[in-house]
Chain A
Amino acid sequence: MINAPFADGHSWMHGIDPRLRVIGAVVFAVVVAVSYEFAVLFAALILSLSMALSARLAFRDVVHRLLTPLIFLLLLWAVLPWSYEGDALTTLGPVVITRPGVILCAQISVKTVSLMVAFMALLATMTVDTLGHALNRLRLPDKMVHMLLITYRYLFVIEQEYQRLVRAMKIRNFHPKTNLHSYRTYAYLVGMLFVRASERARRVHGAMICRGFNGRFVSLREYPPRIRNPVFCLFAVLSLVMLVALEWLT
């Protein structure tokens, strides 16, 4: 259901302390989100592409992951250029394409792609449990981190239970139609999933308590201090300062 093709690599990027990568990704996201100058946005795009290169991400997987946001962007391109008010850029028959509309679309597109690629390079290069532990050591509330980790682990189990219920429906010749019977059946399906998930949660919690769980996860993974950590920090601070300066000066 979830596959993490980027998490297995052994590149320079994979060895950097996950905490630094999380902070870097968040700050980068904020800076890019509030910037509007094309110089800044394209600089950010180049930055994130070079990060993806240094993490040695497979080109095909990156493109594959970009497909979903691209569909969303296409939708924007289909709607915004003619619905946004402003000076006309050109006219296509009765439709007026406005300059601010096109500019807005271009900004959103460049932002989306550069953020997606940056997150792939910085965050997708760690497994979900590493991410959880990194967030934990960044003092995020325990509850949030546990929810992330446990959701990740049990998504598969819940999906299996879903498949099991769907099979049980299919072997008794259930065909969804637009009628009350179908709606009710789907409602039962969702209800059953909730009931089973909460029962499962109760049992898992029991099993954890039996093994001495006291509310804290301890991670086995260690990221020893390495020379690449300060190098990454320096690089990140310099590029972020550059982006902010570009936005401010122009």
Chain B
Amino acid sequence: MSPVILNLTKICYGYPGGPLVLDDLDFHLHAGDRIGLVAPNGSGKTTLFHIVMGLLKPLSGTVEAFGEARKVETDFVEVRRRMGLLFQDADDQLFSPTVLEDVAFGPLNLGKSREQAVAVAVKTLDFLGLNGFEDRVTYKLSGGEKRLVSLATILAMEPEVLLLDEPSTGLDSSTKEKLIDILNTLDLSFVLISHEFDFLSQTARHIYTMEGGRIRFDRELNIHTHRHAHLMGNQPHRHV
């Protein structure tokens, strides 16, 4: 078995004045895992990601990442360096005026020199097929471009794990294809939240659901195809 990267035990979390969103949640991520999470809105998927990154503190339970318990703010500095979180809304992630500055922001914070940071940023943009985007203004990008640039800002920090919060939402089919290609080319572990089974089935190896504030590992969704026959089966159609 590959080493455990992330180990959450008995995590509880609720927003002030509300019910528990996460209730005794257990979660393990091994190196090389590619996990998809499907669950209704408001079931705590985003909250889970924010707890892993240390943006929210769980009411109880322990977060263990890269072999160490992470409790206080300073513990999470290393976690944030080795794990990249892609936010649901790209406008939350891109705050620098130009694309190059935004992508170089992470590497600069990691203590790289200007030249190194720019080199990493340019390399990452090239990898994502975003050549020539360096001087584009971030708020003038289209939705799909914003998503890819956000991904670039994360990848430029050379993380070991990606946490992707609904990366495919609002993308047209060609950008979605591109994103699927990118995720399959990257040799990274990731956890992916999505509502789109199509997208999940092409990227994740295991798909789980969340229910009652927990991840149901006993109820894995299996991607499958099967042959069957019925009248008019030669016409394009959908099964509901």
A contacts, CB < 8 Å to B: 127-129, 149-150, 152-154, 156-157, 200, 203-204, 206-214, 218-220, 222
Q: How many residues of B contact A (CB 8 A)?
A: 33
Contact A207 B118 (CB under 8 A): no
Residues of B within 8 A of A (CB): 50, 53, 55, 77, 80-81, 84-85, 87, 89, 91-93, 95-98, 100-101, 104-106, 108-110, 114, 117-118, 138-139, 153-154, 157
- State whether A214 touches B109 (Cβ < 8 A): yes
Q: Which residues of A contact B118 (CB under 8 A)?
A: 220
- Please name all residues of chain B whose beta carbon is closer than 8 Å to the beta carbon of A213 when the two chains form the complex: 105, 109
Give A47 to B91 CA distance when docked, in angstroms: 42
Q: B153 contacts A211, CB within 8 Å?
A: yes
Q: Which of A200, A207, A214 has the most CB of B within 10 A?
A: A207
Q: Is the interface of A mostly helix, strand, loop or mixed?
A: helix
Are A209 and B101 in touch, CB under 8 angstroms?
no
Contacts known (A220-B100, A222-B114); A203 close to B89, Cβ less than 8 A: yes
Most buried by A among B77, B84, B91: B91
Residue pair A212, B157 in contact (C-beta under 8 Å): yes
Report Cα–Cα, A231/B20, bound state, in Å. 66
Q: Is B92 within 8 A of A200, CB to CB?
A: yes
Knowing A203-B87, A214-B109, the reply to whether A208 touches B95 (Cβ < 8 A) is yes
Closest B residue to A208 by CB, please name it. Answer: B95
CB neighbours of B105 from chain A (8 A) = 211, 213, 218
Residue of A with least CB distance to B87: A207
In angstroms, Cα B104 to Cα A218, docked, is 9
Count CB-based A-B contacts (< 8 Å). Answer: 73
B28 to chain A, nearest CB (A): 22
Given that A204-B92, A204-B95, A206-B55 are known contacts, is A211 also in contact with B139, CB under 8 Å in the complex?
no
B109 touches A207 (CB 8 A): no
Distance of B78 from chain A, by nearest CB (Å): 10
4 nearest A-B pairs in the assembled complex, by CB-CB distance: A212-B109, A211-B106, A203-B92, A218-B108
Contact A220 B97 (CB under 8 A): no
Question: How long is the Cα–Cα vector from A213 to B55 in the complex, in angstroms?
Answer: 13
Report Cα–Cα, A219/B101, bound state, in Å.
8
Q: Which residues of A contact B106 (CB under 8 A)?
A: 211-212
If A211-B105, A218-B105, A218-B109 are given as contacts, then 9 extra A-B residue pairs at C-beta distance below 8 Å, sorted by A number, are: A152-B97, A157-B139, A207-B85, A207-B87, A209-B80, A210-B53, A212-B106, A213-B105, A220-B118
Contact between chains at A153 and B95 (CB < 8 Å): yes
Query: Across the two chains, which residue of chain A brings its CB closest to B79?
Result: A210
> How far, in angstroms, from A213 to B104 measured CA to CA in the complex?
12
